[in-house]
Structure 1
Amino acid sequence: MTTPYSSEAFLHQLLGKALAAHASDIHLKVGQPPGARVRGDMVYFRVDKIRPEDSEAAARVLLAGQPARDELAALQEHDTSVVVPGLGRFRVSLYRQRGSLAIVLRSIPLQVPSFDELGVPSAVRALAEQDHGLVLVAGTAGSGKSTTLAAFVGHINATLPRHIITLEDPIEHVHEDNRSSVSQREIGVDTADFPTALRAALRQDPDVVMVSSLHDGASFELALHAAETGHLVLAAVHTPDVARTLGRLLALGKSPGEARDRLADCLLGVVAQRLLPRRDGTGEVLAAEVLIATAAVREAIRRPEGSPSLRELMEKGVTPYGMQTFEAHVRQLVGQGIITKETAKAVTSL
């Protein structure tokens, strides 16, 4: 049955209106009108509620040319990405709920963002120019981890003659070769899973390996091994702050003591970030805490008992190393008039 959602033009118009309202995500779910996440809140278009045939039609348009389109009846969840001319690239997540298809699209700019455009702290940028070691980008869902990782890859690609391999699920930002050669591999399309791809990457002569999600013990072990053997490893971790990021990874290690020593040896730094609504309503701004792996930080990872906490080390490392706590950055954003005091109070104890 033909529906408006069978039309590519209709879907593109819907996405265009959502982006004009500065939406980060667009939702299509049976039983409600199309929705969009604007400045953190869900808002809905003033149109008819979506029917099962509408969401199925939209899925067929979005999956055009992909094998999953022919398997739609059996599909339970599926992640991919699409390019909409004139609007940009979208990460697409399809899933079933109450037996019907639902779709969430996240906007990804076609242009790879720079560190300056994102507002990434300067101490983090220096990590992109290291020859080897482990750099972690942490945050909860929707905190911009993938975009920050893309900025890392973009910076290296623009400035250094390297071979970069990215392992992504799915591929989001597309990198054209510049000074570097960039090989982008999508989980489920170009390779089976992250551990398989990481093992293979070490035989593909990389200088840099980017991992879009470090969430299991096998991947963590392989990422450590890659960093230990002379590669720069950039990886995202789904944790809210620096302390819980390191705690999560250490819990994944086979031997806690050995994992502490190995992580202390190869860690370069951690940036844990969140996106906060701007005061002027024009979008979101990055707020981050930054840990740089100084000698004192490495010792605190190896022997936490009797060492200063990571928070204390971040507070003491502001001037010499460019470290910062999340609270300090939020306070700075308030002082600059970028976010409101109400936003600051909602996310910290300020």
Structure 2
Amino acid sequence: MATVQIDKLLETVVREKVSDLHITAGQPPVVRLSGRMQRLDTKSLDGEDTSALMKSITPERNQQELQEKGGTDFGFAFGDKARFRVAVFKQRGMIGMVLRRVPNEFLTFEQLGLPPIIGDLIARPRGLFLVTGPTGSGKTTSLASMINHINEHEQHHIITLEDPIEYYHQHKKSTINQREVGVDVPSFPEALRRALRMDPDIILVGEMRDLETIGSAITAAETGHVVFGTLHTTGAQGTVDRIIDVFPTSQQEQIRTQLANAIIGILSQALLPRKPKGLVAAYEMLVVTPAIANLIREAKTFRINSSIQTGRKYGMQLLDDALFDLWRKDLCDEKDVVTKSNNPGELKARIANAKKGVLDEEGEEEDDDE
């Protein structure tokens, strides 16, 4: 019975283009559509239902991990219709699951609305490019788009280290090897260490969460590879601080110097409900110029935001400016843009001013908010 049900549920997810399917005892399945949670019009699930649904899709090794650790993650393909990233967990002694749909088509930079400068940055011969933002902000999709772009245009060897693999890449102009942490290789640090011996041009590190991974990624970027990494930080300034703070105080000065040499750009993103339906991304883009590299080296990261503001000619933009534009173009509600903002108070005031019509000729406020 349960297999029929999971297929039906997944059909619905694919057909309605929902982003996530939530399964937990005590209510019907819930989907996230355009950023909002909605219950499906079916019966309420009990513990037996959720357990049967879990067993119908979860590989043996993951069922074992669920028993031992109370949770497990894996990726699986629903025929050729879609792939899913699945998180299974225990709650109140019963099984819960969240399935995130991973689209099987790659979107172009234009479709994603990515800052155009990205095409230039990722064509560099070496350096560290970071994509950051909270869970569910579309980092994986942006990175998949960048990797696909390189794959279509360059003859490179690309290695991805992911947990789990979400988008599947075919070899186009490049050769792509995708390694899943926990299946193909035990950990990120181990995977990264090995990757350097595989003659890579480009390495994607799915998550830079510990000192060892971050240190290795920076070193790899310095030694002539392009390294893509993700962090769960918001904003470019916060990202630089977070990387440096991972290290003991005695090493921070050295890491600052290394990071300043290695880093080429930081894309920080947020995903918002779009009117009337759908989702739209807002991006913050930091392009590391020699001046910004100096700020990182000299521990003056608090000045990064104002440098982004004055760095438009280099293709930079602040997240809050992007959010303000989404509100001004009537693509998003004020409530939603303020929620995602790095400086909610400031953005609220700016929107209030705009409503009153306090804008200069350019349709932009004076830069007096620093």
Aligned-residue offset at 1:16? 2.5
> Given residue 267 of structure 2, which amino acid in structure 1 is its aligned partner?
V
Within a 5 Å distance, the mapping from 1:70-81 to structure 2 comes to 73-74=67-68, 76-81=70-75
Aligned-residue offset at 1:242? 1.0
Residue 100 in structure 1 maps to residue 100 in structure 2:
no
Match of 1:288 in 2: 283
Partner SS, residue 46 of structure 1? coil
CA contact (8 A) 2:162 2:206 kept: yes
Aligned-residue offset at 1:48? 2.0
Distance 1:133 1:256 in 2: 19
Aligned-residue offset at 1:301? 0.6
Match of 1:268 in 2: 264
> Given residue 336 of structure 1, which amino acid in structure 2 is its aligned partner?
K
Aligned-residue offset at 1:72? 6.0
User: Which of 293, 297, 301 is 1:302 aligned to?
Assistant: 297
> Given residue 10 of structure 1, which amino acid in structure 2 is its aligned partner?
Q
Distance 1:49 1:78 in 2: 24
Residue 33 in structure 1 maps to residue 34 in structure 2:
no
Residue 243 in structure 1 maps to residue 243 in structure 2:
no
Distance 2:141 2:65 in 1: 31
Residue 186 in structure 1 maps to residue 173 in structure 2:
no
Distance 2:43 2:68 in 1: 27
Match of 1:329 in 2: 322
Partner SS, residue 104 of structure 1? strand
Partner SS, residue 49 of structure 1? coil
Aligned residues: CA RMSD: 1.8
Cα deviations by residue, 1:260-315 (Å, 9 ceiling, x for unpaired): 1000001000000000111121x11110111000011001111134x871111101
Distance 1:127 1:246 in 2: 18
CA contact (8 A) 1:112 1:174 kept: no
Distance 1:77 1:304 in 2: 40
Aligned-residue offset at 1:114? 2.1
Match of 1:45 in 2: 40
Q: Which is further off, 218-227 or 325-334?
A: 325-334
Match of 1:137 in 2: 131
Partner SS, residue 122 of structure 1? coil
User: Which of 151, 158, 163 is 2:152 aligned to?
Assistant: 158
Aligned-residue offset at 1:55? 1.6
Distance 1:240 1:308 in 2: 14
Match of 1:58 in 2: 53
In structure 2, stretches of 5+ residues that fail to align are: 342-346, 352-370
> Given residue 25 of structure 1, which amino acid in structure 2 is its aligned partner?
D
Q: Which is further off, 167-176 or 103-112?
A: 103-112
Aligned-residue offset at 1:328? 1.4
Q: Which is further off, 24-33 or 201-210?
A: 24-33
Residue 18 in structure 1 maps to residue 13 in structure 2:
yes
What TM-score does the superposition give when structure 2 sets the normalisation length?
0.87
Distance 2:105 2:6 in 1: 22
Cα deviations by residue, 1:227-251 (Å, 9 ceiling, x for unpaired): 0110000000011111111111001
> Given residue 325 of structure 1, which amino acid in structure 2 is its aligned partner?
L
Match of 1:216 in 2: 210
User: Which of 108, 111, 126 is 1:117 aligned to?
Assistant: 111
Distance 1:141 1:83 in 2: 21
Aligned-residue offset at 1:31? 1.9
CA contact (8 A) 1:276 1:286 kept: yes
Residue 147 in structure 1 maps to residue 141 in structure 2:
yes
Aligned-residue offset at 1:86? 5.1
Within a 5 Å distance, the mapping from 1:219-234 to structure 2 comes to 219-234=213-228
Partner SS, residue 140 of structure 1? coil
Aligned-residue offset at 1:21? 3.9
> Given residue 23 of structure 2, which amino acid in structure 1 is its aligned partner?
L
Distance 1:161 1:292 in 2: 25
Distance 2:190 2:74 in 1: 20
Q: 1:116 to 1:127 in 2, by over 3 A?
A: same
Aligned-residue offset at 1:256? 0.9
Distance 2:64 2:242 in 1: 39
Partner SS, residue 158 of structure 2? strand
Cα deviations by residue, 1:171-214 (Å, 9 ceiling, x for unpaired): 00000000000000001000000000000000111000001111
CA contact (8 A) 2:133 2:139 kept: yes
Q: 1:33 to 1:272 in 2, by over 3 A?
A: same
Q: Give the share of equivalent positions with the same residue, in percent.
A: 34
Distance 2:77 2:337 in 1: 35
Residue 256 in structure 1 maps to residue 252 in structure 2:
yes
